[in-house]
Structure formats: C-alpha cells, structure tokens
Structure 1
Amino acid sequence: MTNNQSLYYRKAAEEIFRYALESVEPEKLVYKAVSRKGNRLYIQHQEIDLTQLNRIIVIGAGKATAPMAQAIEEIMGDIIDSGLIIVKHGHSVPLIKIQTIEAGHPVPDENGISGTQQLLQLVKETKPNDLIIILISGGGSALLIDLPQHCILEELQTCFDLLLKSGASITEINTVRKHLSHVKGGGLARQIFPARLFTLILSDVIGDPLDVIASGPTVPDPTTFADAWSIVQKYGLEDKIPYSIHYHLQQGIAGNLPETPKSGDAIFSRVNNYIIGSNSIALEAARQKATEMGFHAVITGLNIEGEAAIAAKELVSTARKAGIDTTIPKPACLLSGGETTVRVQGTGVGGRNQELALAAALELEANEPIVILSAGTDGTDGPTDAAGAVVDSNTMIKAATKGLDEKDFLANNDSYHFFRQAGGHIITGPTRTNVMDIMMALIY
C-alpha cells in the first residue's frame, strides 16, 4: 500500500461520511414532515385547521433542535405565538419567535435547569385548542433537566457522570434519568395535557425506541423505579451515587413517589410522536455516495453497540473477510451504524468513536489495504472538538515515528491526544444534527 493510496482512501472515507451528514440536516427533515397551505397545517400527513386553534407554542430540547426550529419558523411564520428550545452550548442559530437557551451536555448545568423551568412555564395551563409542537433530538436528556426533591445540581451531575463512565447503555442510562425527573419518561406530556401535541424526533438510539430517545418526554414509560435501581446495582454504583439520589430511588420503589406515566394513560390520547430522522437515513445516503464513487457498498448493520474496542476488532475482522469474499468486488465499502460505549478507566480525553478508531488501528497489519472510519453525526465525540477518526495501517507507522505508544493511549482512554499527534481526526464542528455514529471500512 503506497502513501498515495492510503491518502486517497482516507479522504474518500471522510467524503462519504460528510455526504451522509448532509442527508440528515434537520432543516431538510422538518421540511419533509411539515408544510402549510393557507389555514391548513400538515404534520406527517395529518391536517390541522389553524382557524380552530387558540395558541401555537413550539418547544424542544436537543443538539439538533435549533435548525429544526429555524425550519418550523420558516414554514409557519407569524402563526407561532411563542416558543423556547434548549440546545447544547455553541449550537444556536438565529431565530425570531422562538427563544434559545444554551446549556450543558452531556453533564447538565444551571442553564439547563433554568431553561427547563422557563419551558414549563410557557406551556403551563394549556387548553384543548392549543397546539404544542415539540422538537426533540439526541442530547435532550441532559438539556431538558430538572432536579429530584432534596437534590442539588452537583449531586445530579455526579450521578450522570458516573453513569456515563460506567459502560451502561443509553437505554440503561435513560431508565435512571427518567426516574430522577418530572419531565422525562412521559412527564412533559403529563404537564401539557389537554393540549394537542405533536413531537418531531431525530433518533440517536439503536432501533429508534421512542421511550429512550431524549428519555421519552412525551412517550409512555415502560420502566420503573425498581428497574432504575437494578441498573445502579448492575454497575456497582449504589455506594457511589449521592445519598439524595439513593434516597429518591428508594422512595420510588417503596411507592412513596408517583411512577412515570404508562401506556393507556389518558394524557397520551392527544399526543402524536413522529421520528423524522434516523441513522438508517444517513447510512443509505452514505451507501449511495460510495456507489457513485465506484465502491461496491453494503450496509452491514444498524445496531452496533457494546465496548468500542471490541466493536473495532469485529469491524476489522469483517473487513478482512470481505477482502477475500468474491461476492463483494473491490473496492468495497462496508457501512454500519449504532453507538458503542467506553468503560472509562484511565484519565485521558477521548470519545467512543476515537477509541474505536484507535483500537482498529492496533488490529491492522502492515500494508493491509483497509481504511476504518468511526465518527459521530453530531460532530462532537465525547468532550472533544472531534467527530471521530479515520485510520489505516500507516497510522501506527506515523505514531512510531513520533515515539507514541498507542497501547498506552488506549489503556488511558486518551484517544484524542493520540490522534492530535498522529493525525487522523475528523473535524466537522457542531453539525447540529444527531443520529448516532457511522462506522465504515473501505477495502481495496
């Protein structure tokens, strides 16, 4: 494998990834789902007579909600009475009718608490002829945030941080989050009832489960306080979480606190939830782009999860098998999506995509004609400014010339600083969308 070949295929991988990002730009997805013709508003083919409405309020939370709100304003114009969205710091766009509050993610901050209080005030005492449009995307669990009774923000932050570093899946993490909140797990729908409610959702969870995305604020919650506590125990956190969190969950198990609303509750009778964007849309766009570029492209999976380092080994193994599989001519492009986890044991800086890419680089043999890319569609992998990374067998050669011990970086969960020195980072800036991660293997 020559350096020119290496550079060409690494650039090709990034070009395919960036094209996939364009396919899930929130504005495009909203325009496909919402339209207006005179006094008629259409949301996913449902017709709404605007002359019968009292108020229209737009609210939301998530990393992609600002461009979603921008599209809603352009479609609906002056018929919006008021609105408020909560986005991650640095993810705002200019809006006219809808207020924007920037807040902390993935660990919540005071802005998130204040923003959620203001959002709830906006929809307080809604009437049956009010229309509430809710915009939800990944990140909503940390941005739409309130405090359990007797708990302070620092204690909730500690709990969230422990969960994020434990290796728990997003479904498990959000099960706990839902039972530490009055707005998650259907709680927001409970507070908006009896107004008519439409939720437009960008999914960042494998399988698109409505109750897990952003902790399902407008969806019936099938989980319980007992489920939340079992997750705390599963990851050995019962003696690490703050006492106020421990006490709150135990009070819920004892029946001294109300459960999250369940399926069949009347509050969901006027709720419509629609997924308008997902990982599968991005992967199909990537497949089409790769095909246009001359690759034999195949989507191999939509549910990649588990430890990032283990997923990396499986990805390289699959790429090797494809390299000798005569049914997939070379050059080949294998595409998959999902969201891995990292059990943080070191003190370094990184994210699941960078960790996966670094682990994959360690698996590749000298001159092996394989390029591996792993990147998040939100443009921010962990607490870093990188979306992810792209690697091949030259990655380790370059690292060696710089005196970098890649195994040490991986053991210390310090993939970010490895790629800062060895090269390979994918930097997109905040994409203002979020439909999980894309993993790619090019074989030539």
Structure 2
Amino acid sequence: MSPLPDPALMRQDAVSIFQAGITAADPYQAVKRYLVPELLGNYSKVHLIAFGKAACAMAQAAQEIIPADRLAGKGIAVTNYENVTCIDNVEVIGAAHPLPDAAGLNAAQLIADRVRDAKANELVLVLVSGGGSALIPYPAGQITLQEKIATTDLLLASGATINQINCVRKHLSQLKGGGLARLAAPAHVHALILSDVLGDDLSAIASGPTVADNSTYADAIEVFKVKGVWEQVPINVRQHLEQGKLGAIAETPKPGDYIFKNTGHTLIGSNAISVNAMLQAAKNLGYETELYSDHLCGEARTVGATLVARYVEGRLPKIGALGEVFLQNQAIALLAGGETTVSLKGKGRGGRNQEMALAFAIAVEQHGLTGNWVFLSGGTDGRDGPTDAAGGIVDRNTIKRMVQAGVNPIELLENNDSYTALKASGDLVNTGATGTNVADLQILLIQPAP
C-alpha cells in the first residue's frame, strides 16, 4: 500500500471502518434473517414485545413477517427517545437511557400486563437489544423509581462494570433476571437477542429478562461493598437486598427452573460480528489488519494510554520493534471491540469512548511519536455517555488544535471533560442515533513515516 501523507485520508478510512462495524449490527436485517416460519410455529397468537435501543428496527422487521391475524393485539416497542419511529400495529414508547424515567416504568408495567395475559398455546416473542435494562425499569417491593435511579447513578459513577450493574438490576426488578419469563409462564417464550455484552452472556444482555440468573442477592450487596458505596445506597434498596439475602424475598429464577421449559433464545448480532466486519473493511482498504482485543475493558483513560505504551514498546501483534515498522512502511489497522468504564472524579462531560480517545492523544504527545496515525473509539449506538457524540477520533495534530483553541487537554481529562476537549479540536464523532447497540468499537490506523 502506498504511503498516506495526509491524516485526513486516514480519518476517512477510520470512519468508514467504524461504519462497517455498525452496519454489521443492523437490527432490521438481523431479524429478517432469523425470524423464520419454524420459529413462529403453530402458536395461535404471537405477543410482540421489543425493548432496547434497536427495538424499533427489530419490531418493524418482525411485524412485516408475522401475519397480522396472528398478532395478539398491537405489539409493544420501548426504545430511547432518539430512536423512536412509528411502526404499524406496534405501540412505540420512548424512555430514558442510561438513567430510567417514569415513561420507562409505565412501559415496563404495560409489558408485564401483556405477558401475564399470554396463554399456554401462545408465543411471547421478545426482541432484546442493548439498553433494555434502563428502558424498562420495574422496581421490586417497596423500591421507588427515584430510588432505582439513584442506585443506577451511584453504580455508574463508581465505575462498576456492566456485569456488576446488571447483577444489581436483576435483584431490584420484576422483569430482569428471568422475571419476564416467570410472568409469561405457561406461555412459550422466544427471544431474538442483539448482544451489547462482551462474550455474549445471554443472562447479562438487558439483564436477562428471559434467561435464568446464577447471581444472588448476596452478590448484589457485594458489588456495592467492593465499590465502597454500600452506605450511600437508598435505605429501601438496602433493606430489599438484605431481606433477599435472608431468604424473605424470592430469588431470581435459576437454571433448571420449570418456567424455562418453554423458553428459547437466538443470538442475532454481537460486538464480535461487528469487529469481524471491521477487519474485512480495513483489509478492503489495503491495511495490514490485526485484532488487538475482542474483549477490551478496564478504565477508559488507562486503556487509551496503555495502547500507546504497547505501540512504543513494539508489543502490539505482529508489529515487532518500532524501527522495523518504520522500515516496512506498511499501513496497519489495529482493531478492537469491548466496553470500558469511567470512574467519575470531575464534573465535566464525556463518555468512555471520548475519554479513551483523549487519553490516547495525550499519551502519543507525551511519547513524541512520529508518523501518521488515527485513533477512533466510538459507541455503536451513536451516543457516548450523556452527550450527543458517538465517541472521538484523534490524530497527530489533535493536541495542537486543542492548544490553539485555548483549552488544556490534560486538565480537561482530569475533570472528565473529554467532550469539551474534543469539541474544541473538531474531533468528536457524530453519527446520530444508529438504531442498534453492540457495545464499542476501536480503530487504530498507523502509517509509519517514510
């Protein structure tokens, strides 16, 4: 491949590769591929339930396939406000993400009422995608929605992993952790699942509303204690978890429970599928491709800095010593997928992808690397944290542009204000809501100096 002296060309390539990953997670096409007549069987009625950031696209595909006379009333689709679209024969409800709201609570109650009405010879078809946990909050016991929101906020700010957050959610909800399947019994249940969880653990995606749960109330309590925030948990939440640990409240349904006898699942999309699509797209553009990680996790800023350090040390796959790469003059694409975390210490704006991109650019500057490079980290849902950006894309001139704009990138990173830094340098990735969600994707393009 010939040298790429202009970073702008590499930026275009990075965005193109990122878009290939998003396209591979197209929820409409995934449902079209997997919702076959055999799955619909001979059930007298089909109850269509969808929730998550891809709910509308999935529901649209499903209602085009399911004969209208077999639908048990209008379907229900719950998604984040940005992704709301009108669908024939489907009631579409917008709700908040990542912190739940009253609209989500009302939607969850509507879903619960619908599946309770399902009969033994009927099918509850559940279309699940990322974001489902926050979009259908249905607090258990005496817990209020505001207490559930405060608890979720506390977990997010503590840097808890998605698995830790879901463990807690399952034990505070009437729908999660197999709760929906329990309400639907004795009807048949089948879930088509678009995974936003690394490793595709079905019990973790949207907190596993139709899947058996191995975790316990004791595990949920331990999450808070490990993060050092147990004493900050709302009193009703603490009491509920403690009562559950003592056996006074029923556990989430476990593997082997009779309610799962008529329950099935199909994985129709995942982060791994999107990463593979990016690898192919990069190859098509002429890059020497390598998978850096298919399970990228950890503190976002640390991951960004570590990636630079490994590049400097020549420890990235097949790159060898830094001098060797420069002699080869080979353009390289290092690709990854995953979901990092951010422990909030400042008061700025941003998300894990923006924070990783900013940390990467700062680390490159500190190491004094030469040659052309571009690094993009973005969320496949098009929204990174509580911002309108999907993530960030940085290059060798990013820090210079920030300084020229009058901002201090290091100070902004310390204040968790990556959004302000990247906006100042023109390095935000804005895709708008994509209608899907399979976690995050990372692209590092390196064109050694000639």
Band of TM-score, shorter chain: over 0.9
State the match for 2:31 in structure 1.
Answer: 30
1:347 maps to 2:350: no
Deviations 1:279-314 (A, max 9, x none): 111111111111111111122211000100111122
**Structure 1 outlier segments of 4+, above 4 Å:** 322-329
Q: Distance in 2 between matches of 1:76 and 1:159?
A: 39
Q: Distance in 1 between matches of 2:307 and 2:338?
A: 13
2:380 counterpart (377, 380, 383)? 377
1:392 maps to 2:388: no
For this pair of structures, how many residues does the alignment match? 432
1:311 counterpart (266, 291, 303)? 303
> What is the CA-CA distance between 1:359 and the residue it aligns to?
0.3
State the match for 1:9 in structure 2.
Answer: 10
> What is the CA-CA distance between 1:315 and the residue it aligns to?
2.0
State the AA in 2 paired with 1:69: A
Bigger drift between 374-383 and 3-12 goes to 3-12
Q: Distance in 1 between matches of 2:38 and 2:399?
A: 54
Q: Distance in 2 between matches of 1:329 and 1:246?
A: 59
Q: Distance in 1 between matches of 2:7 and 2:320?
A: 20
1:425 counterpart (407, 411, 428)? 428
Q: Distance in 2 between matches of 1:3 and 1:388?
A: 24
State the match for 2:208 in structure 1.
Answer: 216
State the match for 2:190 in structure 1.
Answer: 198
Bigger drift between 242-251 and 3-12 goes to 3-12
Say if 1:244 and 1:294 are closer, same or farther in 2 by CA, change over 3 A.
same
- Quote the sequence identity (%): 39
State the match for 1:435 in structure 2.
Answer: 438
State the match for 1:61 in structure 2.
Answer: 51
Q: Give the RMSD, CA atoms, in angstroms.
A: 1.7
> What is the CA-CA distance between 1:275 and the residue it aligns to?
1.0
> What is the CA-CA distance between 1:154 and the residue it aligns to?
1.4
State the match for 2:125 in structure 1.
Answer: 133
Q: Distance in 1 between matches of 2:411 and 2:264?
A: 49
Q: Which runs of 5+ in 2 are unaligned?
A: none
TM-score (norm 2): 0.93
Contact preservation (8 Å) 1:319, 1:334: no
TM-score (norm 1): 0.94
Q: Distance in 2 between matches of 1:54 and 1:290?
A: 47
> What is the CA-CA distance between 1:274 and the residue it aligns to?
1.3
State the AA in 1 paired with 2:47: I
Q: Distance in 2 between matches of 1:310 and 1:184?
A: 32
> What is the CA-CA distance between 1:120 and the residue it aligns to?
1.2
Contact preservation (8 Å) 1:385, 1:429: yes
Q: How does 1:199-348 map to 2 (within 5 A)?
A: 199-320=191-312, 321=314, 322=316, 324=320, 330-348=330-348
Q: Distance in 2 between matches of 1:329 and 1:284?
A: 25
Contact preservation (8 Å) 1:59, 1:133: yes
Q: Distance in 1 between matches of 2:45 and 2:294?
A: 40
Q: Distance in 1 between matches of 2:96 and 2:231?
A: 26
1:80 maps to 2:71: yes
Say if 1:228 and 1:273 are closer, same or farther in 2 by CA, change over 3 A.
same
State the match for 1:96 in structure 2.
Answer: 88
Q: Distance in 2 between matches of 1:309 and 1:258?
A: 40
State the match for 2:404 in structure 1.
Answer: 401
Deviations 1:232-283 (A, max 9, x none): 1111111111111111111111111000000000000100011110011111
Deviations 1:306-327 (A, max 9, x none): 1001111222234443555569
> What is the CA-CA distance between 1:368 and the residue it aligns to?
3.9
Say if 1:96 and 1:7 are closer, same or farther in 2 by CA, change over 3 A.
same
> What is the CA-CA distance between 1:329 and the residue it aligns to?
6.9
State the AA in 2 paired with 1:191: L
State the match for 2:181 in structure 1.
Answer: 189
Deviations 1:378-422 (A, max 9, x none): 000001110001112210111111221101110110111111111
Q: Distance in 1 between matches of 2:165 and 2:386?
A: 18
State the match for 2:169 in structure 1.
Answer: 177
SS in 1 for 2:293: strand
1:71 maps to 2:72: no
Bigger drift between 136-145 and 147-156 goes to 147-156
State the match for 1:21 in structure 2.
Answer: 22
Bigger drift between 263-272 and 95-104 goes to 95-104
Contact preservation (8 Å) 1:146, 1:183: yes
Q: Distance in 2 between matches of 1:8 and 1:182?
A: 50
Contact preservation (8 Å) 2:115, 2:180: no
Q: Distance in 1 between matches of 2:262 and 2:114?
A: 19
Contact preservation (8 Å) 1:63, 1:87: yes
State the AA in 2 paired with 1:11: Q
Bigger drift between 433-442 and 295-304 goes to 295-304
State the match for 2:356 in structure 1.
Answer: 356
Q: Distance in 1 between matches of 2:232 and 2:330?
A: 51
SS in 2 for 1:118: helix
Q: Which runs of 5+ in 1 are unaligned?
A: 36-40
State the match for 1:38 in structure 2.
Answer: none
SS in 2 for 1:227: helix
SS in 2 for 1:229: helix
SS in 2 for 1:108: coil
> What is the CA-CA distance between 1:366 and the residue it aligns to?
5.2
SS in 2 for 1:90: helix
